[in-house]
Amino acid sequence: MGQAEPLKTHYTYEEYLELEQTEGIRYEYYQGEVFAMAGSTKRHGQISFNTQKLIDNEMSDDCRVYSGDVKVEIDQHKHYVYPDVVVTCNADDVENDQEVSVKHPSLVVEVLSKSTQGYDKNEKQKAYMRLPSLEYYMLIEQNTCEIELYSRQKDLWSYAFYNDPNQIIALPKLNLSLKVSDIYKRVKFD
């Protein structure tokens, strides 16, 4: 009687792409390891949708906004992640709409979940902030009205915190202004 084949623990970049294609599941990829993306709550989905729609309505035609179905390349063939919303204004990213990833994000938005909050606020944040193109990193709480924004100021990052529905989040490098209450539209807190 034959033994069952052990589960594969490391994948080449090409195997990773094939795995996503054949299984139809989104996986984050880090140096050969793959991590299946968990499903989200309706509240998480509403906040992501609101944010993407707000940005898309205000954004220049030179930029594109994508949902959590488009991955960001952190390190070519080594590290790929799926943010909830990503904006790119890079001509290569904008013109090549058949590409599977954004290579030059300007804004990355993560809606925090209990299961991913630590990762989004630590390892993922550090990886994003090493990208030379990234101007803004936004973290949105889904269970309270709290938004954190990191903005690149030359070689430093500044921090802003928003917890009032009437506050406006200014993203001047993208010519965007987002009202906190619009991000949380149709979201009811307990």
Chain centre to alpha carbon of residue 170:
19
Tokens 């998480």 sit on residue: 44
In a domain, 31, yes or no: no
Q: What is the pTM of this model?
A: 0.92
In a domain, 104, yes or no: yes
Tokens 């307990």 sit on residue: 190
- CATH number of the domain within which 157 lies: 3.90.1570.10
| Amino acid, single-letter form, for residue 6 | P
In a domain, 76, yes or no: yes
Contacts of 74 (CB under 8 A, 6+ apart): 80, 81, 127, 128, 130, 131
In a domain, 16, yes or no: no
Tokens 């993407």 sit on residue: 52
State pLDDT tens for residues 55-112: 999 999 999 999 989 999 999 999 999 999 999 999 999 998 888 899 999 999 999 9
Return the structure tokens found at 55.
């940005």
State pLDDT tens for residues 37-48: 877 899 999 999
In a domain, 169, yes or no: yes
Q: Give the burial string for 160-170 (b: 16+ CB within 10 Å, else e).
A: eebeeeebebe
Domain count, the chain: 1
Query: Measured between alpha carbons, how far is 187 from 189 in angstroms, rounded to an integer?
Result: 7
**Residue 120 structural domain:** 40-183
In a domain, 106, yes or no: yes
